[in-house]
Structure 1
Amino acid sequence: MFRLMGDGSRLKIILVCLNEPVCVGDIALQLELSASLVSHHLRLLRAARLLRSEKRGKQVFYSVADEHIRCVLEDMIDHVAEPYDREET
C-alpha cells in the first residue's frame, strides 16, 4: 500500500478522490496528466483496494475504498504537517 502511494502521481490521484467520487477525465484535468496515465494508475490503485470504482452511465467514478484508507491518509497528512523539533531526536 505504501509502496503504491510512494509514487507522487498515485498519491495525488488518491487525494483527489478522498472527498468525493471523481471521473478519470476530471482527475486528469486537475493533475495535468494524460487520461491514459491516470487510467493506468487507477487500475493499480483499484487492484490494491485503495480506490473503488462506480459506473454512472458511460463514465466511471473513483473514490477512496473505505474509511480505513481515509484515516491512514489523514493521519499521514497530519503527521507531515506537525512542527518538527530537532531537539526531540
Structure 2
Amino acid sequence: MHANDPGATWPHLPPDEQIDIAVDSLRMLADPTRLRMLWLLCGQEYDVTSLARAVGIARPAVSQHLTKLRLTGLVTTRRDGRRAVYRAKGGHVRRMLAEALEAAHHHLAGLPDHD
C-alpha cells in the first residue's frame, strides 16, 4: 500500500510492523543533526570525515548517528577501499525528507495547505 496511490484506502490501517518501522524512521528525523546529515546524504555520498566537516560535529558523533540511520533503513553504506561511504537509501527517503521540510516551509511562511 502506498499513500500516494489513487486506490489507497486510508480507512484501513497498515500492519503493525509497518507502523513500527515508520515510527522508527520518523524518530530518526526528529533529531536536527540526523536531519541535516540525511539531507546531505540525499544529494551525494559522504564518508564519516567529510560528513563531520559538512555538519560541523565530531566524527564519533557522526558515526553514531549514521549507525542509527543505517539500522532504521534510511541510509546505505558501501566500501570504497578502506573507507565506508554513506548515501540515503532510495527515493522514498528523499521524498519523506522533502515533504517534512516542505511542510516546515509552509508553516514558517504561513502558506495555505494543499493536496
The answer, yes or no, to whether TM exceeds 0.5 is yes
**Equivalent residue, structure 1, for 2:88:** 64
Q: Which consecutive unaligned segments of at least 5 residues does structure 2 have?
A: 1-24
**Equivalent residue, structure 2, for 1:2:** 26
**Equivalent residue, structure 1, for 2:48:** 24
Identify which of structures 1 and 2 has the higher relative contact order when contacts are C-alpha pairs closer than 8 Å and 6+ apart: 1
**Equivalent residue, structure 1, for 2:6:** none
**Equivalent residue, structure 1, for 2:99:** 75
**Equivalent residue, structure 2, for 1:34:** 58
Question: When the two structures are aligned, how many residues end up with a matched partner?
Answer: 86
Equivalent residue in structure 2 for 1:55, among 79, 84, 90: 79
Q: Give the Å deviation of 1:11.
A: 0.9
Q: Which has the larger radius of gyration?
A: 2
Q: Give the Å deviation of 1:85.
A: 5.2
Q: Which consecutive unaligned segments of at least 5 residues does structure 1 have?
A: none
Partner secondary structure for residue 17 of structure 1: helix
Question: How many angstroms apart in 1 are the aligned matches of 2:59 and 2:68?
Answer: 14
Measured on the aligned residues, the alpha-carbon RMSD in Å equals: 1.4
**Equivalent residue, structure 2, for 1:14:** 38
**Equivalent residue, structure 1, for 2:110:** 84
Question: How many angstroms apart in 2 are the aligned matches of 1:52 and 1:6?
Answer: 19
Q: Which runs of 4+ in 1 moved over 6 A?
A: none
